[in-house]
Amino acid sequence: MFHIRSLEENDFEFLLDMMYESIYIPHNKPPKEELLNSPHIKKYHEGWGRKGDRAFIALNKDNQPVGAAWYRLFKGNQKGYGYVDDHTPELGIAVIDIERGKGIGTLLMKKLFEQALKDGYTSISLSVDPNNIMAVQLYKKLGFKRCGSSGASWTMVYNISSNSFSTDVIGKQGHPR
């Protein structure tokens, strides 16, 4: 059993771990410090906590963090890889290896969608390497549509206001089917 809660101050290091895990580099991935401090990646976490930054942590039955999902709004002068426009936040998500495939990512996404709606956003975007098959399958299942490319990655967008998060994806008890 898992539960989701908002990011707390003492979760930031775990959030950085998950940001690192969310970057799909199948071979010769640079060390965490090097990758997260590179100019194109640093903007995803630098100054975290600014207006509009949102993150959720998934915890297991022992209250240990097992995954995270977050979003940040970028402007055209500092675009993220999944940038669509100045009014669409870009999300990131990761789950620790041993907990993947158990529906945690789906639960985290549901929470992000709910929060994004409360925050007044109508859509949310992401960047994904098309070779990251598990992630692409999850995003398509949830209703994300490919809308462009950034380098070798796809930009995908989900229209929160016109899609309802399907009860076929999330059961009545919040457990993935």
**What confidence tens digit (pLDDT) does each residue in 104-138 have?**
999 999 999 999 999 999 999 999 999 999 889 98
What are the pLDDT digits (tens) for 54-96? 999 999 999 999 999 999 999 878 888 899 999 999 999 999 9
Expressed in angstroms, the distance from the first to the final Cα of the chain is 14
Average pLDDT, the chain: 89
Residue-level pLDDT at 80: 85
The closest alpha carbon to 125, from 96, 153, 97, 164, belongs to: 153
The closest alpha carbon to 168, from 146, 142, 145, 144, belongs to: 142
Is residue 105 within 8 A of residue 139, CB to CB? The reply is no
> CATH homologous superfamily for 3-159?
Gcn5-related N-acetyltransferase (GNAT) (3.40.630.30)
- Between 84 and 169, name the one with better pLDDT: 84
Residues contacting 160, CB < 8 A, separation 6+: 113, 116, 117, 121, 122, 123, 124
Per-domain residue ranges of the chain: 3-159
- Between 71 and 40, name the one with better pLDDT: 71
Quickly state the pLDDT bin for 38 (edges 50, 70, 90): very high
Is residue 112 within 8 A of residue 158, CB to CB? The reply is no
The closest alpha carbon to 104, from 113, 112, 95, 114, belongs to: 95
What are the pLDDT digits (tens) for 157-168? 999 988 765 434
pLDDT at 177 over 50: no
Residues contacting 167, CB < 8 A, separation 6+: none
